[in-house]
Amino acid sequence: MKPFAQPKRIVIKLGTGVLTTGIGKLDTARIAALSSEVAAFRARGIEVIVVSSGAVGLGMGRLGLEKKPRDISKKQACAAVGQSLLMQYWQDGLDPHGLTAAQVLLTHDDLRGRQRYLGVKDCLETLIDYGTIPVINENDTVSASEIKFGDNDTLSAMVASLTGAQHLFIISTAPGLIDMKGTGKIVPVVQKITPEIEAMAGGTTSETATGGMVSKISAAKLAVKSGCGVFIASGAEPEIMHRLLAGTGPGTFFVPSGIPMDSKKRWLAYFQRPTCSISVKADAIPALREQGRSLLAVGVTGAKGIFAAGEIVNVLAPDDTVIARGKTAYGSVEIAKIAGKHGDEMRALYPTRKHLEVVHRDEMAVL
Ligand code: GLU
For the CA of 56, the nearest atom of ligand 1: 10
Left, alpha or beta for 23 (phi > 0: left; psi -120 to 50: alpha)?
beta
Taking a C-beta distance cutoff of 8 angstroms, is the pair 135, 87 a contact?
Answer: yes
The rounded Å distance from CA 315 to ligand 1 centre is: 31
**Domain range 274-366, CATH architecture:** Roll (2.30)
pLDDT at 166: 96
Main-chain phi, psi angles of 276, to 5 degrees: -105, 160
> Could you give the residue range(s) of every CATH 2.30.130.10 domain in the chain?
274-366
Average the pLDDT over 340-366 and give the result.
89
pLDDT at 347: 86
pLDDT at 352: 86
User: From CA 43, how far away is CA 39, in angstroms rounded?
Assistant: 6
Left, alpha or beta for 251 (phi > 0: left; psi -120 to 50: alpha)?
left
The hierarchical CATH code for the domain 9-264 is 3.40.1160.10
The rounded Å distance from CA 55 to ligand 1 centre is: 6
Main-chain phi, psi angles of 280, to 5 degrees: -125, 160
Q: Using 50, 70 and 90 to split pLDDT, how confident is the model at 109?
A: confident
* DSSP letters for 261-298: PPHHHHHHHHS---S-EEEE-GGGHHHHHTT-PPB-GG
User: From CA 35, how far away is CA 95, in angstroms rounded?
Assistant: 9
The rounded Å distance from CA 209 to ligand 1 centre is: 7
Residue with CA closest to ligand 1 atom 2: 53
The rounded Å distance from CA 72 to ligand 1 centre is: 13
> Could you give the residue range(s) of every CATH 3.40.1160.10 domain in the chain?
9-264
The rounded Å distance from CA 14 to ligand 1 centre is: 9
The rounded Å distance from CA 56 to ligand 1 centre is: 6
Lining ligand 1 with CB less than 6 A are: 15-16, 53-57, 137-138, 140, 151-152, 210-211
**Prediction pTM value:** 0.84
pLDDT at 147: 54
Residue from 23, 63, 140, 142 whose mutation best tests the ligand 1 pocket (most atoms within 8 A of CB): 140
For the CA of 57, the nearest atom of ligand 1: 10
Higher pLDDT, 284 or 264: 284
Q: Using 50, 70 and 90 to split pLDDT, how confident is the model at 145?
A: low
DSSP state of 356: -
pLDDT at 149: 67
pLDDT at 253: 95
